[in-house]
């Protein structure tokens, strides 16, 4: 028996490998501080839990849901989007679809639009699913380097015309995982122009739209005129509402794009549990003050971490969004993997290596703000005592 050859092109999933290394260290008796995965450690808000309890007790939620989400859910998602970004006029029947979190919708988009020989334009470093889903769909990916000297924005002018002509999808993710970088509306305008010129569907993974600090409000690509002609945007309840395990989100945008995604979904999954959709509707109705309260936890952790690393010599500026701090490795280490392995062995701290997100992530590591304040301080203290310093 032999697996499909496409699996030979796909490396082990980064976070599964982090889990394996964690389990091995725990088995050795190591007190692990795991800052490897962006999984919020705070409980889901009470208003969401209460809505879920009510929905579970309602027998009408116990049957198959509509593939594209209940009408009430799609209408609530569209209304939330309009309140949040000031962009309305959405048709919930043709321009909004529910998703089982973002990951499945991202993957299914590749199946809907990519044929063998087609190109996808994906950032590097980036969420690994963009690359692996291209392979699953039989396509070829062209990496767009995200470089610090360009503020981690891709250089669209550097994409060869012959690649652009064969490209079906262009993926972006701002606020960005793993770098924490931000995009402006001016960049989105340039992106929309590029997509219309080359007949490419823009896919904006906006999973961190609400994970922002210091009063910053990340924009939507749909705040740019004409974006609906060429774009989809992927939103998730996972990070903002501490609902990673609930697996619920939505995709909004171009009707043809939503239709293609929906056609794949109806043949692959049976939709999100109705009760979870009811819980997400409650999340969409949360006040700005409650959301700010949730975000203040991560903002404080960000400050602890950045201040602590700066005290050890790291040249960092506090990111204004996402759950992550992206930091260079000291020059005394040859690779990201060497650095994170030493950090685990000497300090019991787990972080992913930058090259796990692509070749252009080499020389960096990512830290998730998903441990309590005291553990964050302890991590810095362990690094200090072990002699970790940034040597430029």
Radius of gyration of the chain measured on its C-alpha atoms? 21
Quick one: pLDDT at residue 25?
Answer: 84
How buried is 84 (Cβ within 10 angstroms: 0-12 exposed, 13-18 middle, 19+ buried)?
A: middle
Given the structure tokens 């005592």, which residue do they identify? 385
- Tens of pLDDT along the chain (392 residues)? 999 988 888 877 766 777 787 888 888 889 999 999 899 999 999 999 999 999 999 999 999 999 999 999 999 999 999 999 999 999 999 999 999 999 999 999 999 999 999 999 999 999 999 999 999 999 999 999 999 999 999 999 999 999 999 999 999 999 999 999 999 999 999 999 999 999 999 999 999 999 999 999 999 999 999 999 999 999 999 999 999 999 999 999 999 999 999 999 999 999 999 999 999 999 999 999 999 999 999 999 999 999 999 999 999 999 999 999 999 999 999 999 999 999 999 999 999 999 999 999 999 999 999 999 999 999 999 999 999 999 86
Q: Which domains does the chain have, with CATH numbers?
A: 5-43+289-385 (3.90.1150.10), 46-286 (3.40.640.10)
pLDDT at 392: 64
Q: Identify the pLDDT of residue 8.
A: 86
Closest CA to 28 of 384, 345, 343, 376: 345
**CA atoms within a 13 Å half-sphere pointing along the CA-CB vector of 129:** 17
Instruction: Tell me if the pTM is above 0.75.
Output: yes
Identify whether the C-beta of residue 214 lies closer than 8 Å to the C-beta of residue 320: yes
Would you put residue 380 in left (φ > 0), alpha (ψ -120 to 50) or beta? alpha
257's CB contacts (< 8 A; 6+ apart) are 109, 113, 201, 231, 232
As a whole number of Å, the end-to-end CA separation of the chain is 51
């Amino acid at each position: 028996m032999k697996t499909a050859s496409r699996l030979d092109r796909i490396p082990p999933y980064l976070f599964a490998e982090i889990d394996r290394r964690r389990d091995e260290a725990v088995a050795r008796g190591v007190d692990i501080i795991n800052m490897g995965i962006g999984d919020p450690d705070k409980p889901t808000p009470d208003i969401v839990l209460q809505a879920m309890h009510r929905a579970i007790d309602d027998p009408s939620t116990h049957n198959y849901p509509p593939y594209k989400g209940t009408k009430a859910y799609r209408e609530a998602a569209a209304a939330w989007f309009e309140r949040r970004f000031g962009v309305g006029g959405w048709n919930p029947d043709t321009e909004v679809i529910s998703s089982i979190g973002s990951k499945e919708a991202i993957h299914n988009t590749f199946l809907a639009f990519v044929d063998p020989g087609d190109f996808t334009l994906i950032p590097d470093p980036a969420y690994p699913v963009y690359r692996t889903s291209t392979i699953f769909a039989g396509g070829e990916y062209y990496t767009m380097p995200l470089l610090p000297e360009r503020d981690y924005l891709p250089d669209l002018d550097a994409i060869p015309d012959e690649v652009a002509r064969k490209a079906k999808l262009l993926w972006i993710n701002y606020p960005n995982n793993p770098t924490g970088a931000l995009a402006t509306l001016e960049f989105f305008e340039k992106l929309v122009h590029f997509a219309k010129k080359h007949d490419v569907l823009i896919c904006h993974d906006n999973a961190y739209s609400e994970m922002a600090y210091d009063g910053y409000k990340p924009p939507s690509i749909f705040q740019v005129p004409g974006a609906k002609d060429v774009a989809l945007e992927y939103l998730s309840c996972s990070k903002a509402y501490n609902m990673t395990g609930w697996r619920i989100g939505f995709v909004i945008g171009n009707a043809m794009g939503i239709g293609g995604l929906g056609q794949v979904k109806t043949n692959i999954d049976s939709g999100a549990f109705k009760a979870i959709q009811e819980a997400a509707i409650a999340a969409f109705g949360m006040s700005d003050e409650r959301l700010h309260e949730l975000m203040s936890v991560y903002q404080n952790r960000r400050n602890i971490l950045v201040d602590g690393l700066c005290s050890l010599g790291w040249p960092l500026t506090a990111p204004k969004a996402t759950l992550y701090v992206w930091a260079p490795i000291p020059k005394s280490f040859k690779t990201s993997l060497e650095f994170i392995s030493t950090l685990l062995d000497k300090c019991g701290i787990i972080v992913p290596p930058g090259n796990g997100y692509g070749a252009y992530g080499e020389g960096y590591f990512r830290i998730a703000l998903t441990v309590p304040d005291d553990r964050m301080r302890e991590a810095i203290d362990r690094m200090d005592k072990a002699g970790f310093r940034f040597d430029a």
